[in-house]
Amino acid sequence: MAKEFQSSPVGHEISAVFHGVGKKFLIDGKHIKKVLLDGLNIDKFGIISIASHDFKPKGHSTAVLLSESHTSIHTYPEHDSLTFHIYSCRRPGDGKKTFEHLKKTLNPEFIDFKERNVIVSRNHL
Amino acid sequence: MAKEFQSSPVGHEISAVFHGVGKKFLIDGKHIKKVLLDGLNIDKFGIISIASHDFKPKGHSTAVLLSESHTSIHTYPEHDSLTFHIYSCRRPGDGKKTFEHLKKTLNPEFIDFKERNVIVSRNHL
């Protein structure tokens, strides 16, 4: 996908907490990062750059700058949970395929799911 | 600030659109990035890594991985606006000082402001 991208006047944001994720996933930063990147590829996002960090003694963060904005994931092995956020200026309702890939792969017990359209053009207010 | 950080069971997320920001700010990616980093320093966040991109013909994105999670900014000169997002697992209500610094410095005409506490521990649900 091309790195340059014409933004939509209305983007979309998903913010979710996955509760009850298996410890084996939460302590494996390399795997979590791969699951996120696989989701982004399935969703045809353009990846510009990736920043990752493994915390000590545990926990992993990855933030990805996208042609279409950004996404991130943070794991909390001490709480059996992770947070996922994606904001895309590609179109309203965007990012669902990435979210669904994470949900299917990481199989949480339940999810606190929030989403909203983000209006960036005053003509659409 | 130390790079390693003990997360709170309840974090905080701010998601805002600044409308009516001066073009001189929106087309100057270097300045926008500096304003964001200054805000993070005022707010005593730990910066782990920074990813930035200048889009062609215009527009700038910066995403920052923090000890306390992440933040990002995306400018839309074509819409006279920018989006700001911060998620911190440091404490409930966090990130306000960074937001206030952006608001004061960039002086938007109006702001679509959303915030919420993010519960990462099931013991706090």
Q: What is the pLDDT of residues A15-39, one digit of tens each?
A: 999 999 999 999 999 999 999 999 9
**Alpha-carbon span A92 to A94, nearest angstrom:** 6
pLDDT band at A1 (very low <50, low <70, confident <90, very high): very low
Q: Is the pLDDT of residue A54 over 60?
A: yes
pLDDT at A2 over 60: no
- Global pTM reads 0.94
Distance (Å) from the alpha carbon of A56 to chain B's nearest alpha carbon: 7
Rounded CA-CA distance A52/A33 in Å is 8
Which one is catalytic: A12, A60, A61, A69?
Answer: A69
Predicted local confidence at residue A5, as pLDDT: 64
Alpha-carbon gap, residue B54 to A76, rounded angstroms: 32
pLDDT digits (tens, 9 = 90+) for A55-110: 988 999 999 999 999 999 999 999 999 999 999 999 999 999 999 999 999 999 99
Residues of chain A found within 8 Å of residue B48, distances taken between Cβ atoms: 51, 53, 61
- Residue keyed to tokens 């200026």: A89
pLDDT, one tens digit per residue, over B66-112 is: 999 999 999 999 999 999 999 999 999 999 999 999 999 999 999 99
State yes or no: is B89 an active-site residue. yes
Q: Between chains, do A74 and B89 touch, taking CB under 8 Å as contact?
A: yes
Is B67 tagged catalytic?
Answer: no
Chain B residues lying within 8 Å of A119, measured CB to CB: 17, 112
pLDDT at B115 over 60: yes
- The DSSP string of chain A is --S--PPPSEEEEEEEEEES--HHHHT-HHHHHHHHHHHHHHTTPPEEEEEEEE-SSS-EEEEEEETTEEEEEEEEGGGTEEEEEEEESSSTTTTHHHHHHHHHHH--SEEEEEEEEEE--GGG-
Kindly report the nearest CA distance between residue A60 and chain B, in angstroms. 10
Spatial separation of the C-alpha atoms in residues B43 and B27, rounded to whole Å: 25
- Complex ipTM value: 0.92
Which residue of chain A is at minimal alpha-carbon distance from B89?
A74
Size of interface A-B (CB pairs under 8 A): 138
Percent of chain B with pLDDT over 70: 96
Minimum distance, in Å, between the CA of residue B103 and any CA atom of chain A: 16
A74 is catalytic: yes
pLDDT computed for residue B2 by the predictor: 45
Contact status, residue B83 vs residue A87, Cβ threshold 8 Å: yes
